Amino acid sequence: EPEVTQTPSHQVTQMGQEVILRCVPISNHLYFYWYRQILGQKVEFLVSFYNNEISEKSEIFDDQFSVERPDGSNFTLKIRSTKLEDSAMYFCASRDPSLGPQHFGDGTRLSIL
């Protein structure tokens, strides 16, 4: 069964450094999402992306964050200058054009030192 894949599974970065999290959505999906989950808390929406532009973003998704679909298969989340509070699991999700359910990857654990 097709699945969403995320790399790396664990990323350790120094505070202030830039980090790029990568996702390969399911191939025929057109809607893409990033969520994050701080340890012990609920999953929070960050941003949705469709037709090469952001369709919705949360208050968490400030100027330090950006998303890109650089080619036909990858979807990336960039954090420009990481902070300690960016430490979390980051999940990518995708959805097909017929408005089916979202499918999630297994996440990238981001640890900021």
Partner 1 sequence: QKEVEQDPGPLSVPEGAIVSLNCTYSNSAFQYFMWYRQYSRKGPELLMYTYSSGNKEDGRFTAQVDKSSKYISLFIRDSQPSDSATYLCFGAGGTSYGKLTFGQGTILTVHP
Q: Which residues bind partner 1 (CB under 8 A)?
A: 4, 31, 33, 35, 42-45, 48, 55-56, 58, 89, 91, 93, 99-107, 109
Least separation in angstroms between residue 102's CB and partner 1 is: 6
Q: Which amino acid is at 44?
A: E
Q: What φ, ψ does residue 96 adopt, rounded to 5°?
A: -85, 170
For the CB of residue 56, give the shortest distance to partner 1 in the complex, in Å. 6
Smallest gap, in angstroms, from Cβ of residue 80 to partner 1? 23
Q: Which is nearer to partner 1, 19 or 34 (CB)?
A: 34
Using DSSP's 3-state secondary structure scheme, residue 74 falls into coil
Q: What is the 3-state secondary structure (H, E, C) of 21-57?
A: EEEECCCCCCEEEEEEECCCCCCEEEEEEECCEEEEE
- Using the minimum distance from each CB to partner 1, give the nearer residue, 66 or 104: 104
